[in-house]
Amino acid sequence: MVVAGSGLQYLKKGITPHMWCPGCGNGIVLAMIFRVFEKLDYRMEETVVVTGIGCWGKADDYVVTNGFHGTHGRALAFATGIKAFNPRLHVVVLMGDGDCITIGGNHFIHAARRNIDLTAIIVNNFNYGMTGGQVSGTTPSGMYTSTTVYMNPERDVDICALAAVAGANYVARGTPYHGFELETNMEEALTKKGFSVVEVVSPCPTHYGKNNAMRTPVEMLKWIKGKAMTKAEYDSLDPSITGEYFPIGKLVDRDAPDFNTRYDEIRGRAMKDRTP
Amino acid sequence: MITTPNQTQLMQGNQAMTHGALYAGARFYAGYPITPSSEIAEECSVLMPKLGGMYIQMEDEIASIAAVVGASLAGAKAFTATSGPGFSLMQENLGFAVMAEVPCVVINVQRSGPSTGLATKPAQADVMQARWGRHGDQSVVALCPSTVAECFGLTVQAFNFSEKYRIPVILVADEVVAHMREGFRIPEDGEVTVIERKRPTCHPRRYKPFETDIDGVAPLASYGSDYVFHVSSSMHGPDGFSNNDPVNATRKIEQLHRKVEFHRDEIVITRSFDIEDADVLLVAYGITARAARAAALAGREAGIKAGVLQLLTLWPFADKEIGLASERVQTIIVPEMNYAGQVAGEVQKVVGPDRDIRRVNRYNGQIITPDDILEVMTR
């Protein structure tokens, strides 16, 4: 028996224990996704969960909707083909920061620009967890990872700002600490037509925490909580210190026509045109 | 169809490949522009939406083949076209199509390399990349046209093999074949066999996307149908979920190879010209096969009994056919537009190290002429 509202009907049976470390945010995020799926009454047949490679990219192993586990960084490109050919499907793309923003950054920009009706749920834990905690495109400058032991000399990219400027219809950020708000944002993202992005800033005590003097899940979660604030609070900060914090909640909400809608217009024009 | 069937028209190789794809039922094209394959993209951008299909220009070739794979799993017959550098970028996700057993077609219009090379000039140097370009253990099917008619016919054939065996099929064309124009009549519907992928007929709850039938191929459902399924780039069991058991891995790798090996005789297509009484055997493919035929005819006029074995299938390699054709001949010549003799080396493997193979190689962006071959033949 599945408890109503739990979303457990979407969880694959018999796969526990899962592969994620104690204190990881992935399980919390996956449970939220399941609850929202149930709330939105997503049928298994019409839902495709697409993942790439990484800790969060293993999430498809635990899901009983249609699933697609692809190559590193390319999840959005595979998902684009799925959604473009069958727009009736709910296509939900789960990627980590390495997968989505670092190796797959170009696909992220163009999925947003194309405004294809996908929902990207990006778990950003600031490092490459699965391969042992190496630096990522979202590792903040000056922080430590297993390949930046003297500190990270590079700057990090703001996933949500990038999604906004590239044209995503919906952009939100949350953390596992702010569970209710995050779940609401996920629901909004899934129901939004066009490209929608939810960035989840998530703890990785095993690697990122260990390398940055936050060895326990609680320490890591407190660090994340201390950096998160509402957009109004964030906007009122002195610009010299905004880099220390990030805004959470809904950041972009617009209704530009999505790719499939626009392509239907192309079909209409092409079919009217009688020239070979 | 857009063009009028039953009417011969002047058609370019790239156009013929496009029409072959549409004839086979392709309704999804994702690609990235690159010379000398761009006419395929342009033609698809016009024709796909007219047919209710889709043309989408992706951000690079990595994304192009990825979108093709995604669309195929959503039920489309899907393809892409590219050339050397783009073909290199596609390799990883082509490997995905092998592993996840996703039907799709990739056209690689070969141009001169390495790297950007002589970007607009022909070459035949991707034979080995087609075979071995991806990491990991796998078989592959690659076809190679030498005429506009073959551009059409082999594209249909590429889709048929890909659908029937749940494999990506590579069409290895070259710049000259792709850009030249010949008279060609698009067949009527039904004139050429078109094969559709095997669909599951079991109860949806019992469906396993990698549980093979006796032919080594599992039925493939589409996302959005009553059949819910999971595919993975990682080693997986019959249910499509990750499976690291060595017994399972052994079975999967063997199945990926054997579904091609077992149907090898159907897949390997060759054409022979005057080889019955030949003393000289020319083994050739693509545009060079035409020069080889001209050289063989000229050779016969000069009193040399020459014949040509044309390889329309490059992979799996036509070892049996070459073995048979080369038994009685005195001389074997393999002309090709690459330095290393990518096919000559395979022919050498077939006939053994003791037999001398005369090679004709050109790698400067110019095609091999009948005279080039004749010179070696009469040496």
How many domains are there within chain A?
1
Domains of chain B, first to last: 8-185 (3.40.50.970), 271-377 (3.40.50.920)
* Minimum-distance CB partner of A85 among B50, B76, B230: B76
Q: Which of A58, A85, A275 to mutate to test the interface with B (most CBs of B within 10 A)?
A: A85
Q: Is the pLDDT of residue A276 over 70?
A: no
With an 8 Å Cβ cutoff, are B241 and A12 in contact?
Answer: yes
Residue A58 resides in a domain: yes
Measured distance CA(B107)–CA(B376) in Å, rounded: 32
A138 min Cα distance to partner chain B (Å): 22
Measured distance CA(A260)–CA(A85) in Å, rounded: 9
Q: Is the pLDDT of residue B5 over 70?
A: no
pLDDT tens digits for range A51-108: 999 999 999 999 999 999 999 999 999 999 999 999 999 999 999 999 999 999 999 9
B241 touching chain A per CB within 8 A: yes
Q: Is the pLDDT of residue A46 over 60?
A: yes
A178 min Cα distance to partner chain B (Å): 31
Judged by DSSP in three states, B199 sits in coil
- Average pLDDT, whole number, for chain A? 96
B357-361, strands of its sheet edge to edge: B270-273, B306-311, B280-284, B331-336, B357-361
Length of chain A as a residue count:
276
With an 8 Å Cβ cutoff, are B223 and A86 in contact?
Answer: yes
Q: Is the pLDDT of residue B186 over 60?
A: yes
What per-residue confidence (pLDDT) applies to B287?
Answer: 98
pLDDT tens digits for range B133-153: 999 999 999 999 999 999 999
The pLDDT-based confidence of B4 (bands split at 50, 70, 90) is: low
- Average pLDDT, whole number, for chain B? 97
The pLDDT-based confidence of A3 (bands split at 50, 70, 90) is: confident
The pLDDT-based confidence of B124 (bands split at 50, 70, 90) is: very high
Residue A9 resides in a domain: no
The strand ranges marked E within A17-56 are: 47-51
CB B2 within 8 A of CB B50: yes
Chain A partners within 8 Å of B78 (Cβ): 81, 85
B10 touching chain A per CB within 8 A: no
Residue A196 resides in a domain: yes
* Minimum-distance CB partner of A74 among B93, B231, B242: B93
Q: Is the pLDDT of residue B317 over 60?
A: yes
Q: How many CB pairs (< 8 A) connect A and B?
A: 138
Q: Which of A203-217, A240-254, B2-16, B208-222 has the lowest mean pLDDT?
A: B2-16
Output Rg (C-alpha) for chain A, integer angstroms: 19
| A63: CATH | 3.40.50.970
With an 8 Å Cβ cutoff, are B228 and A66 in contact?
Answer: yes
B87 min Cα distance to partner chain A (Å): 16
Chain A partners within 8 Å of B232 (Cβ): 60, 67-69
Q: Which of B62, B93, B220, B223 to mutate to test the interface with A (most CBs of A within 10 A)?
A: B223
Is there a cis peptide before residue B370, judged by omega within 30 degrees of 0? no
Measured distance CA(B18)–CA(B40) in Å, rounded: 6
Region B179-183: mean pLDDT is 98
Q: Which of A34-38, B31-35, B93-97, B116-120 has the lowest mean pLDDT?
A: B116-120
pTM: 0.97
The pLDDT-based confidence of B67 (bands split at 50, 70, 90) is: very high
Q: Is the pLDDT of residue A24 over 70?
A: yes
CB B283 within 8 A of CB B343: yes
What whole-number percentage of chain A has pLDDT above 70?
99
How many other CB atoms are there within 10 angstroms of residue B353's CB atom? 6
Q: Is the pLDDT of residue B1 over 50?
A: no
Measured distance CA(B274)–CA(B236) in Å, rounded: 48
Chain A partners within 8 Å of B227 (Cβ): 45
What per-residue confidence (pLDDT) applies to B249?
Answer: 98
What per-residue confidence (pLDDT) applies to B379?
Answer: 86
Residue A138 resides in a domain: yes
| Residue whose C-alpha is closest to residue A187's, from A22, A25, A34, A53 | A34
What per-residue confidence (pLDDT) applies to B59?
Answer: 98
Q: Is the pLDDT of residue B205 over 60?
A: yes
Residue A203 resides in a domain: yes
Judged by DSSP in three states, A7 sits in coil
Chain A partners within 8 Å of B234 (Cβ): 69
Phi, psi (deg, nearest 5) at residue B319: -65, -45
The pLDDT-based confidence of B3 (bands split at 50, 70, 90) is: low
pLDDT tens digits for range B250-271: 999 999 999 999 999 999 999 9
Q: Which of B210, B233, B235, B242 to mutate to test the interface with A (most CBs of A within 10 A)?
A: B233
Residue A94 resides in a domain: yes
Residue A11 resides in a domain: no
Residue A4 resides in a domain: no
* Minimum-distance CB partner of B228 among A44, A106, A263: A44
Domain of residue A224: give its range: 26-267
